[in-house]
Structure 1
Amino acid sequence: MAPLRDRRTGFSRRRQYGLFLGYVLAIAGAVVGAALLVLSTFDPPAFAALRMAAAGVTTPLSSAAAGIGHGIASIPAGITDHFRVRSENAALRARLERSQRLVLRARTIAYDNRRLRTLLRVRDRTAGVVVTARLVSSTASSARRFALLNAGRWQGVQSGMPVVGADGLIGRIVETGPNAARVLLLSDVESIVPVRRARDGLPAVATGRGDGTVEIRSVDTADVRFVVGDLFVTTGTGGLYAPGVPVAQVVSAGRDQVAARTFARPDTLDFAIVTQPFTPMPAPVSVPGLPR
């Protein structure tokens, strides 16, 4: 049989003090309980006031303990909500990307439709339309500025014919092939177009600078002031370009000569209209005895 545990405190003062303190607390608890029992029996109002005072002291502790308990209990639900929210965010991002692609496509279609409608209006009010064709390429780095049109002699395109777009004048045909033509752009250094200022009719000349822009120079007038935003259109002088076709807009103020940006920029164009010269070329006259 195993020996019984020795309950004696021995000579340890710590154990003796601990045992004594336990007895004191037990006796004090019994006395307090008996006093509360007597108080609740003979003086219920005083016992109720004491009970509420004790409740007022313990309520904050109970609330804190309850909050900690609720927080611990909500951890699994929070983890679940976190992963659910992440999955929902991923789905919403994917939906937003699809919507953005659809919006971009719709904007592109609307832009193309708007430009095509404008081009059709230009075609309706432009006399002597030869053909509407696509600009398939244009130079962007060389000082010489040309564009390639996918229409040529088979479609009636000839050298010297003007080329216009929905925004304004593009240039003129300089070379033709069976089904392609080369367009000299307004920004080419060899391009010279008589123009006038839209607000007062000031005559000027637009010459290409070879960098995608043109230079506006006044003619027959000295000390002319140009301001930013001045619009210039064709005059009809020379018989090649019809009057009133938008050419360029001034981008920097100055006197006598300034830089301007062309309205029709080949790098943003897709379709163009080839027209007859404003003043048709005279038919060749046959002279007897000379070969035709």
Structure 2
Amino acid sequence: MARSRDLRPGYSRRAQYGIFTAYVIAVGGVIIGLIALGISLLNPAAFGFLRGAASEISAPAGEASTATRRSGAGLVSAIEAWFETGHQNLELIHEIAGARAAAVSARATADENRRLKALLHIVDPAAPPVSAARLIGSTAASARRYAVIDAGDAHGVRAGQPVRGAAGLIGRVVETSRDTARILLVSDASNVVPVRRAGDGLPGFVQGTANGKIAIRLLSLGNNPLHPGDVFVTSGSGGIYPPGVPVAVVSQTRRDGAEGRLAADPAATDYVFVLPVYQAPAVAAMADAVKAAGPPPKDDN
């Protein structure tokens, strides 16, 4: 038999009691709520113990929620940092490369300034150099020893003029063009430089050898008074080279002299001075007298 669609309790006392109880509970709840609302408005502190109890009960849940939120934020930050790591590493690599390049440039500039200052210390105000130049090439493995500087005729450079660096004599000019000049190095076998020992003026001469080294020979015969470490400078004899310019240092003595090393290594020299051709005072005075006297008179006969 199908159930009747009429949902009214009818004569069922059980249903009627249930509905009545529900109404009583609802009305009682409304009355209690109104009373509680009135008490809370008139005396807000009356339910403080209930709020405190509720806070105590909900505290663990709040702590768990806070921990979860912090963990989530940390996880998000870690993920973002992981994705940003590659970009940051690339930026750091570029910054490090730039800093290294700047350091190398600064070191090169400091070395260049040091060499230029060393050159300035050797300038004689009474006999200023013809030109300052940069040594732009040299033959280190050839039987002939030449170098090239970036100063030529346009800078007043002429053949025969001596060339020196901060450490000592480099050679002399043999050929010139407009903006360059060719230097015959001291280590060339055809270049003979009159020298004297810096300590006592012992005379001699320096000549290059085929193997790129230099030989130091003395003008006086007899016992060899040379010792390793002796410094030889230009003597000024014969002109061309001014006196007092370091040329060679004795490295090993021989029966007739010594083998030495250059005071100024062209391979380690960047800047040089081209000096005027040196003339001894007596020769210079004689030349001045000849110029002052003028040309000799012509013979009418």
Q: TM-score range, shorter-chain basis?
A: 0.5 to 0.7
In structure 2, what is the equivalent of residue 146 of structure 1?
A: 146
For 2:197, give the aligned amino acid. Answer: R
Of structures 1 and 2, the larger Rg is shown by 2
Q: Which residue identity does 1:196 align to in structure 2? A: R
Whichever residue aligns with residue 185 of structure 1, its letter is L
Aligned-partner SS, 2:171? strand
Structure 2 residue 152 is the aligned partner of structure 1 residue 168 = no
| 2:121 aligned counterpart, secondary structure | helix
8 Å CA contact 1:218–1:257 kept in 2: the answer is yes
Q: Name the structure 1 match of 2:195.
A: 195
1:7-46 map, 5 Å: none
Change (3 A) 1:126 1:120: farther
The Cα of 1:178 is off from its aligned counterpart by 2.2
Query: What's the CA shift for 1:179?
Result: 2.1
Counterpart in 1 of 2:133? 133
Cα-to-partner distance string for 1:60-118 (whole Å, 9 max, x where unaligned):
xxxxxxxxxxxxxxxxxxxxxxxxxxx9xxx9999888766555443332221111001
1:62 matched residue in structure 2: none
Q: CA RMSD in A?
A: 3.1
Structure 1 residue ranges, 4+ long, deviating more than 4 angstroms after superposition: 91-104, 280-289
Return the TM-score normalized by structure 1. Answer: 0.61
Q: How does 1:10-89 map to 2 (within 5 A)?
A: none
* Pair 1:210-2:205 in alignment: no
Return closer, same or farther for 1:136/1:218 CA change in 2, 3 Å cut-off.
same
Change in CA separation of 1:108 and 1:179 when aligned onto 2, cut-off 3 Å: closer
Between the aligned partners of 1:259 and 1:98, the Cα distance in structure 2 is 47
In 1, Cα distance between equivalents of 2:169 and 2:127: 15
- The alpha-carbon distance between structure 1 residues 104 and 202, as it changes in their structure 2 partners (threshold 3 A), is same
Partner residue in 2 for 1:183: 183
Structure 2 CA distance for partners of 1:229 and 1:142, relative to 1, 3 Å: same
**Higher mean displacement: 160-169 or 145-154:** 145-154
Deviations 1:227-272 (A, max 9, x none): 2111000111112111111001111233422211111111122221
Unaligned runs of 5+ in 1: 1-86
Q: CA deviation at 1:138?
A: 0.8
* Superposed displacement of residue 200, structure 1: 1.9
Q: Distance in 1 between matches of 2:97 and 2:202?
A: 52
C-alpha separation in 1, matches of 2:224 and 2:96: 54
Contact 1:226 1:256 in 2 (8 A): no
Partner of 1:225: 225
Q: How many residues are treated as equivalent by the alignment? A: 207
What code does the residue aligned with 1:151 have? A
Gaps (5+ residues) in structure 2?
Answer: 1-85
- Quote the Cα distance in structure 1 between the aligned partners of 2:99 and 2:210: 42
Partner residue, 2:249: 249
Q: Work out the CA distance in 2 between the residues paired with 1:276 and 1:105.
A: 34
Contact 2:173 2:184 in 1 (8 A): yes
